[in-house]
Amino acid sequence: MIRALIIFLTVFGPPAAAQEVVAALSQNRVSITASFDGSEILVFGAVKHDKPVDETMPLDVIVTITGPKQPIIVRRKERVAGIWINTDAVDVDEAPSFYSISTTRPLAEILSDLEILRYKISINRTIRSVGAPQDIMDPGNFTDALIRIRTKNGLYQLRENTAFLAEDTLFRTNVALPSNLVEGSYTANIYLTRDRKVISTSQSVINVQKVGLERWIYSLAHERPLIYGILSLAIAIAAGWTASAVFRYLRG
């Protein structure tokens, strides 16, 4: 029985992939300091061919970089009695703090809707919002607002036609990381596609972390909030007293 199963899998099982993607990053660590104004990562690699290239079905490459996923509350503001106040709110269960897509051609041309859903290769698919309060009739608008705001801030990027693949072998793309990154592990996924299907993948991790004084202040605020509050108050009092003393000196 086992022998028959092995023979069946050998004859009818899926064939080995004719192409395999191998990728690397220009850097695997991003350090956030007081002067950090963003960074750029070069994603590059090659396609290993086990068979001759089929020129009638060209290859394409998709590169995604995903930041730490977090829950977030999206609120809607309305003007009531001349004052803008928060009214409705929707809890988004999971949304990446950063998400970038780079492609060799328009995404819809190189990947089917089924594959996009399977691998969640789209800004909408990477956001998970399970439910909303029953009194909110347009929950989709809250997700759209989140995407619009983060796109404006450079945190969500759809960069079609920015990845370059030479002779179905060598590829590269540059991904700009904005200055407003959050700490954590960022995942770089590289997808090799053909005939609107993913045929090979590669994954790398980028560590984004505050360093130096910024790291000390961040750790103090989250791990010792009482000490952080007292220290902040002391600095504020000292700054106010110094400014008052300078002002009196200048007037005298």
Measured distance CA(4)–CA(22) in Å, rounded: 35
pLDDT at 11: 41
Question: pTM for the full model?
Answer: 0.76
**Half-sphere exposure (Cβ direction) of 99: Cα atoms closer than 13 Å:** 22
Per-residue pLDDT reduced to its tens digit, 197-231: 999 999 999 999 876 665 556 665 666 777 767 77
pLDDT at 62: 97
pLDDT at 243: 78
Q: Are 196 and 135 in contact (CB under 8 A)?
A: no
The three-class DSSP label of residue 20 is strand
pLDDT at 60: 95
Q: How far is CA 246 from CA 236, 240, 243, in A?
A: 15, 10, 5
Mean pLDDT of the chain: 82
Query: Class for domain 18-210, per CATH?
Result: mainly beta
pLDDT at 212: 60
The three-class DSSP label of residue 210 is strand
pLDDT at 252: 61
pLDDT at 139: 72
Q: Are 233 and 227 in contact (CB under 8 A)?
A: no
Structure tokens given for 49: 């061919």
Q: Are 119 and 187 in contact (CB under 8 A)?
A: no
CA 8 to chain centre: 42
Provide the residue ranges of all domains of the chain, joining segments of one domain with +.
Answer: 18-210, 212-252
pLDDT at 171: 95
Measured distance CA(164)–CA(173) in Å, rounded: 6
pLDDT at 7: 44
pLDDT at 36: 79
Per-residue pLDDT reduced to its tens digit, 75-110: 887 777 777 777 778 888 899 999 999 999 999 999
Structure tokens given for 136: 């909110």
Measured distance CA(69)–CA(183) in Å, rounded: 11
Q: How far is CA 219 from CA 37, 224, 233, 234, in A?
A: 21, 8, 18, 18
Structure tokens given for 251: 């007037």
Residues of the chain with pLDDT under 70: 1-17, 52-55, 131-135, 211-223, 228, 252
Measured distance CA(140)–CA(234) in Å, rounded: 45
Sign for the CA dihedral angle at 159, 162, 163, 167 comes to positive
Structure tokens given for 23: 């990728």
Q: Are 114 and 108 in contact (CB under 8 A)?
A: no
